[in-house]
Structure 1
Amino acid sequence: MSLRRPLVNASDNNDRFRFRLAVSMALVLLAFAILLARFVHLQVIQHDYYSTRAENNRISLAPIVPNRGVIVDRNGVVMARNYSAFTLEITPSKVGDLEATIDELSQLVDIQPKDRKRFRKLLEESKTFESLPIRTRLSDEEVARFAANRYRFPGVEVQARLFRQYPLGAVASHAIGYIGRINKRDLEWITENEQLANYKGADHIGKIGLEQKYEFVLHGQSGYEQVEVDAGGRVVRSLSRTSPVDGNNLTLTLDTGLQEIAEKAFGNRRGALVAIEPATGGILALVSTPTYDPNLFIDGIRTDDWEQLNNSPDKPMMNRALNGVYPPGSTFKPFMALAALETGKRTAGQAIFDPGYFNFGTHQFRDDKKGGHGVVDMYKSIVESCDTYYYMLANDMGIESIARFMDQFGFGSRTGIDIEGESVGVLPSPEWKKRRFKRPEQQKWFAGDTVSIGIGQGYNAYTPLQLAQATATLANDGVMYRPHLVRHITDSRTGEKTLIEPQPLRTIPLKPQHIATIKRAMVGVVKEGTGARAFAGAAYESGGKTGTAQVFSLKGEKYEAGRIRERLRDHALYVAFAPADQPKIALAVLVENGGFGAQSAAPIARLVFDYYLLGKAPNGPAPEDASATEEE
């Protein structure tokens, strides 16, 4: 049986072809329509959006960090300034093998182990996309060598950076402070103060001292440069530039000559000195020894340097003038005597008999002079520093009366000086004791506690700054000014100076005759009392008071410095003002474990006064007065 294939209908084939052709054409037209619609959407509807994005890809904004303000002393001596230098920087996120890259770079640029340690420390503290310095202050030869090999090191650049410099080194470092790289905490602080945009491109900020307190004054206003870049992100040309506004400059009340004299006067001893201009509150010198070099911190301090500073038993990073709190010892006595006059508990001529001790209940409070001072009036009590007089006075006055009076002079309160970190100190009172201790038996105030307060011991604890402020207030007849370090701020654009007006805090209502009595007795200390030897032959008249503050209890034993470990010896203090008739300077000196104030502290004050009032500059540290006695 033979099979025949059916005949194909040509008309059906044509219809199928036409249908397929129509569908294909429809699909093509639809595709073109979609493309056209997309084209219209991109080119017409979203033209502005994509045009802006394209422009942003082509144009970049580069922040320009302003010059930080300069800091000078009252005589124009530069204490903090800037200079420009080249830095080799790595952006870790753009580098594959970081260690290998650094090894290769070390063939071109001198990279020491200390540079690697600092870089790793910065890497731990920073985000990986930040540019971090591996070497600073490149020489011209090093810059040229790297430039010739730049193509080999993606993510590595040479940047021109501004560097902070403290030309006087360690002088006044606790007042000036230092700058360091911005960390997370700094960034939070900048954000809280709504300054984040102003710190784009900046990598340093003030850390302590005036550099921190006046950060936004010194920093200035960042600028920016609009540049055209290619596809690789390289700058093709500059399109426009908004210049930064440099930070304002600070002129201080400090006298660097006086500051250096005071620091050298301490020699290797630990301590603090604060000198104030009584009529304005301007700080003339703020000393804390030992000190440190703020230049160490600018690039990121080396680990061994930091360990040496941080672990030193001498605590060079501690600002003793503001942070240290110490018993005032006998320097408290002039204020106790003034309190007695003002409250009517004593008159200047009223006398007591001092047998060398004061019996209170079953306890005997000893005077430093064996056998006592005999008949003692107020003048003699200050000049010879009679403890028994003030044991009796404190007991008669009571703690509440003492605390109320001393509070007026700023004891136990922050002074408001224009740097951070000031300690409060302790002005003892029954209320303070209740806050300080937890157990009820510890909270009770005992009458015996009051007796020790009278000679500046017991719970008394004040900063050298508080002592200096109180002394300046006494010298200024009861008018108290806020201590400050900045004299005026100079606008970097206009040169206009904004004076920091002296700020009177209060006028203590003191009777002129009472002030005169205390000042006369303090002059007597220098002429015939415990400070006489240190000021022998001085060409000016000053008033002062020596003091010795006990570090630990001898439990009735006689104090012999040679038999006691150095760091357990008494602190030496001295407060003073000069000239006596019209004081231009008032100060407080503390020498830690220095023994007697007349021996260690008063000679330092003499050198400071000689320089400030007479222009006399000594060559070395203050000599110790070996003849000084315990009668302070």
Structure 2
Amino acid sequence: MSGFEVRNSEAELYKFRVRIAVVALVVLLMFGVLLYRLFVLQVVRHDSFAERAESNRTAVVPIVPNRGQILDRNGIVLATNYSAYTLEITRSKVQDLEATIEELSQLVEITPRDRRKFKRLMDDSKRFESIPLRSRLSDEEVARFTAQRWRFPGVDIKARFFRNYPLEDVAGHVVGYIGRINQREQEALEDSDDYANYRGTEVIGKLGIEQSYEKQLHGTTGWEQLETTAGGYAVRRLNSRPATPGDTVVLSLDVGLQKLVEDLYGERRGALVAMDPRNGEVLAMVSKPGYDLNLFVDGIDQENWDFLNNSIDRPLLNRALRGTYPPGSTYKPFMAIAGLESGKRKIETTIQDSGSWTFGGHTFRSGHPNGPTNLRRSIIKSSNVYYYMLANDMGVDTIHEYLSPMGFGRQTGIDLVGEGRGVLPSTEWKRNTYKRPEQKKWYAGETISLGIGQGYNHFTMVQLAYATSMLANHGIQHTPHLGKGTVDAVSRQFKPLYREEGTSMGYKPEHVEAVRSALAAVTVEGTSRFVFGGAPYTSAGKTGTAQAVTVGQKEKYNAAKLAEHQRDHSLYIAYAPAENPKIAVALIVENAGFGAAAAAPIARRVFDYWLLDQYPSEEDMAAVRKGQVGRPIGTPRSGQAMMARYERMALPGVGAARVLENLSGGDVAAPRAPELAAPAGAEPEVED
């Protein structure tokens, strides 16, 4: 073999050995990677995969808490719960939805309304969510379905809690209602710290106390850890934490007073707010017309929704909280305070009221001449001329400066979501509100009508009651509130809600007392003397008549020629007893005419009930609804006796007095007791 051939053979052998070495290295590297991967899976990520494996055979199911009750100040139930069976479908587990529903209808009754509601819920739900097809099944229907359950994969029976409002439409706008969580609310929950607490929850407070006290009423969600089969069926419970029911919310509202006022309004529209001026507690908040809250419990049907939503009377509007109205002459006492505090008037300042006042070539009417008129007479006789001149002297921005702190044109801070702001005009407000340059300008003539509560002035009854309570309480303000306290679901203890101390407005005492004295004289020698004649207590008040539509200066108001919705509104503000007020009210009866004819008689019955425990006779109530009576007629009934009806309706088997006894630690207070508190060691047995 030649030397060349030897070298060539050695080269080939070298290449072969290199290839073997490379292959061996690759194989060794692959084994190294495999060993590393096994180490990661078996050691490094052992806990993670063990948890995954465990989750494949376990499931954590949320336990939805029982929602808390809502009670009035006497322990009468306004909102509670009951348990019932529902027939539910999970669409992701059903092959033919329509066919399944048809077959189910052979076992249990499924109405067209049930089908419409189910389709509506489908639009707001995901395919893997369980949707109720039929609620409140009877025991017989449950038994029939259970026997045939194997035929319906994805269909099941569930026990659910349903909200119930025993008094139906009484205080409906205050209590509010709950409803299914919509997409917007779901997104808000996902961005909040409470998201985990709402797992499994399908409803949430929509309006009123149900919405404003959602956190207290909802409770704390529990959970169950279940061992499941490969098919997802539960085998046994491994661990659990029970749900904590929501707290019971006790309101300052008095159902007896609330129902009385609602009955006095009858079919008329309007609003009333009654407050305790000493602490800001709302004793009654009426908005008429109302609606039955139970219509919303199981999802309102289209017919009822169309009726409520499209009615010209707007029953869904909370007129007391969101409805805004010109205050008319009820505004004059507050203008009087502003005039005194701003230095534009003195208590003894006297003007000549000739029945009209001319400014800039325009004559403003006043109805009738009052002659020489000072502050006291201007309120007693309701002089327009006095307040035309005062408004002109003050100017719109000064009026705004002094009236805004009283609560006009801003939210009072009441503990209900959705409070209206109203309008207390100013030059800045007009510039920001209107678009065209000529609309943005404030004209001097526009200021004049502000003095008598007309023009751009529009306020809520909550604002008017807030300001009236301030006057009643000698210039000290208390934020209006409905929540009085909560009964803890675990400890069963009553906890008063924290409220700030009253705030002094800083008015000179002689100014406040001058206006208070004039208001007290209104019920003795002024426009409401016929309504309050013979009352065994003193009161102070001011009537008001406000235009619903503008009437030209050269035209004469004639209610008979106007449509009912265009007639003047009837208003009244008042408090009693005049020297030491325990209750203050502001109310409006829409399109009912003069304040003394429709609104003041309602206020008289409110005071009689609250201070004397007198409930009007049927004859008297019928006359009040028609605006045909001033002072009460007939023999009044006992307020306590009338309250007994609501105890039986709202607390079957558990009297309201018993609940109140528990809350107060054993001493049964009067239904209108100013305080409702349990001392240390008391254990209220409030039904959940």
**TM-score, L = length of structure 1:** 0.90
| CA distance 1:450–1:486, change in 2 (3 Å) | same
Tell me which residue corresponds to 1:518.
515
| CA distance 1:38–1:569, change in 2 (3 Å) | same
Tell me which residue corresponds to 1:537.
534
Q: Does 1:248 align with 2:247?
A: yes
Equivalent-residue separation in structure 2 for 1:174 and 1:595 (angstroms): 25
Tell me if the contact between 1:59 and 1:226 (Cα under 8 Å) persists in the aligned partners: yes
Tell me if the contact between 1:94 and 1:155 (Cα under 8 Å) persists in the aligned partners: yes
Q: CA offsets, 1:452-496, max 9 Å, x none?
A: 111111111111110000000011111111111101122211123
- Which ranges of structure 2 fall in alignment gaps of 5 or more residues? 1-27, 631-688
Write the letter of the residue equivalent to 1:506: T
- CA positional deviation for 1:344: 3.1
Q: Does 1:417 align with 2:414?
A: yes
SS at match of 2:584: strand
Residues 4-403 of structure 1 correspond to what in structure 2 (within 5 A)? Answer: 44=42, 48-369=47-368, 372-403=369-400
Equivalent-residue separation in structure 1 for 2:338 and 2:198 (angstroms): 52
Equivalent-residue separation in structure 1 for 2:48 and 2:408 (angstroms): 66
SS at match of 1:62: strand
Tell me which residue corresponds to 2:685.
none
Tell me which residue corresponds to 1:25.
none
Question: How many residues get paired?
Answer: 594
Equivalent-residue separation in structure 1 for 2:91 and 2:42 (angstroms): 42
Tell me which residue corresponds to 2:427.
430
- CA positional deviation for 1:259: 0.8
- CA positional deviation for 1:546: 0.5
Write the letter of the residue equivalent to 1:427: L
Write the letter of the residue equivalent to 2:409: G
Equivalent-residue separation in structure 1 for 2:266 and 2:239 (angstroms): 56
Tell me which residue corresponds to 1:577.
575
- CA positional deviation for 1:47: 5.8
Equivalent-residue separation in structure 2 for 1:604 and 1:80 (angstroms): 27
Equivalent-residue separation in structure 1 for 2:584 and 2:500 (angstroms): 17
Write the letter of the residue equivalent to 2:395: G
1:608 to 606, 609, 612: 606
Equivalent-residue separation in structure 1 for 2:103 and 2:36 (angstroms): 50
Tell me if the contact between 1:179 and 1:205 (Cα under 8 Å) persists in the aligned partners: yes
- 591-600 or 325-334, which deviates more: 591-600
Write the letter of the residue equivalent to 1:576: A
1:508 to 505, 510, 513: 505
SS at match of 1:534: helix
Tell me if the contact between 1:479 and 1:504 (Cα under 8 Å) persists in the aligned partners: no
Q: CA offsets, 1:248-280, max 9 Å, x none?
A: 111111111111111111111111111111111
SS at match of 2:278: coil
Equivalent-residue separation in structure 2 for 1:607 and 1:463 (angstroms): 22
SS at match of 2:259: helix
Equivalent-residue separation in structure 2 for 1:471 and 1:317 (angstroms): 26
Write the letter of the residue equivalent to 1:380: R
- CA positional deviation for 1:530: 1.1
Equivalent-residue separation in structure 1 for 2:347 and 2:47 (angstroms): 89
SS at match of 2:162: strand
Equivalent-residue separation in structure 1 for 2:625 and 2:82 (angstroms): 40
- 133-142 or 342-351, which deviates more: 342-351
Tell me if the contact between 2:265 and 2:625 (Cα under 8 Å) persists in the aligned partners: no
Q: Does 1:599 align with 2:597?
A: yes
Tell me if the contact between 1:329 and 1:548 (Cα under 8 Å) persists in the aligned partners: yes
Q: CA offsets, 1:61-105, max 9 Å, x none?
A: 111101111111111111111111111111111111111111111
- CA positional deviation for 1:505: 6.0
SS at match of 1:158: strand
- CA positional deviation for 1:167: 0.9
Tell me if the contact between 1:598 and 1:625 (Cα under 8 Å) persists in the aligned partners: no
Write the letter of the residue equivalent to 2:596: A
Tell me which residue corresponds to 1:8.
none
- CA positional deviation for 1:232: 2.5
Write the letter of the residue equivalent to 1:611: Y
Equivalent-residue separation in structure 1 for 2:579 and 2:515 (angstroms): 13
Tell me if the contact between 1:272 and 1:288 (Cα under 8 Å) persists in the aligned partners: yes
- CA positional deviation for 1:49: 4.8
Tell me which residue corresponds to 2:453.
456
Q: CA offsets, 1:185-232, max 9 Å, x none?
A: 111121122222111111111111111111122111111112222232
2:401 to 401, 404, 415: 404
Tell me which residue corresponds to 2:674.
none
- CA positional deviation for 1:342: 2.3
- CA positional deviation for 1:396: 2.1
Equivalent-residue separation in structure 2 for 1:183 and 1:146 (angstroms): 30
Q: CA offsets, 1:21-64, max 9 Å, x none?
A: xxxxxxxxx9xx99x98997799557655543332222211111
| CA distance 1:397–1:40, change in 2 (3 Å) | closer
Write the letter of the residue equivalent to 2:549: F
SS at match of 1:454: helix
Tell me if the contact between 1:603 and 1:624 (Cα under 8 Å) persists in the aligned partners: no
Equivalent-residue separation in structure 1 for 2:506 and 2:292 (angstroms): 44
SS at match of 1:170: coil
Structure 1 ranges of 4+ moved more than 6 A:
36-43
Equivalent-residue separation in structure 1 for 2:363 and 2:60 (angstroms): 78
Q: Does 1:481 align with 2:478?
A: yes
Larger Cα Rg: Structure 1 or Structure 2? Answer: 1
| CA distance 1:38–1:350, change in 2 (3 Å) | closer
| CA distance 1:47–1:594, change in 2 (3 Å) | same
| CA distance 1:392–1:533, change in 2 (3 Å) | same
Equivalent-residue separation in structure 2 for 1:115 and 1:47 (angstroms): 50
Equivalent-residue separation in structure 2 for 1:356 and 1:417 (angstroms): 40
- What is the RMSD computed on CA atoms of the aligned residues? 2.1
Q: CA offsets, 1:124-145, max 9 Å, x none?
A: 1111211111111111111111
Equivalent-residue separation in structure 2 for 1:39 and 1:545 (angstroms): 87
Write the letter of the residue equivalent to 1:384: K
- CA positional deviation for 1:377: 2.3
Q: Does 1:568 align with 2:571?
A: no
Tell me which residue corresponds to 1:13.
none
Write the letter of the residue equivalent to 1:128: R
Write the letter of the residue equivalent to 1:519: R
| CA distance 1:428–1:37, change in 2 (3 Å) | closer
Tell me if the contact between 1:280 and 1:503 (Cα under 8 Å) persists in the aligned partners: no
Tell me which residue corresponds to 1:446.
443
- 615-624 or 442-451, which deviates more: 615-624
Write the letter of the residue equivalent to 1:456: G
Equivalent-residue separation in structure 2 for 1:413 and 1:340 (angstroms): 20
| CA distance 1:444–1:150, change in 2 (3 Å) | same
Q: CA offsets, 1:575-603, max 9 Å, x none?
A: 01111011111111011111111111111
Equivalent-residue separation in structure 1 for 2:339 and 2:50 (angstroms): 83
- Which ranges of structure 1 fall in alignment gaps of 5 or more residues? 1-29
SS at match of 1:304: helix
Q: CA offsets, 1:551-594, max 9 Å, x none?
A: 22221211111111111111111001111011111111011111
Tell me if the contact between 2:279 and 2:502 (Cα under 8 Å) persists in the aligned partners: no
Tell me which residue corresponds to 1:24.
none
Tell me which residue corresponds to 2:4.
none
- CA positional deviation for 1:304: 1.1
Equivalent-residue separation in structure 2 for 1:187 and 1:537 (angstroms): 58
Equivalent-residue separation in structure 1 for 2:102 and 2:229 (angstroms): 30
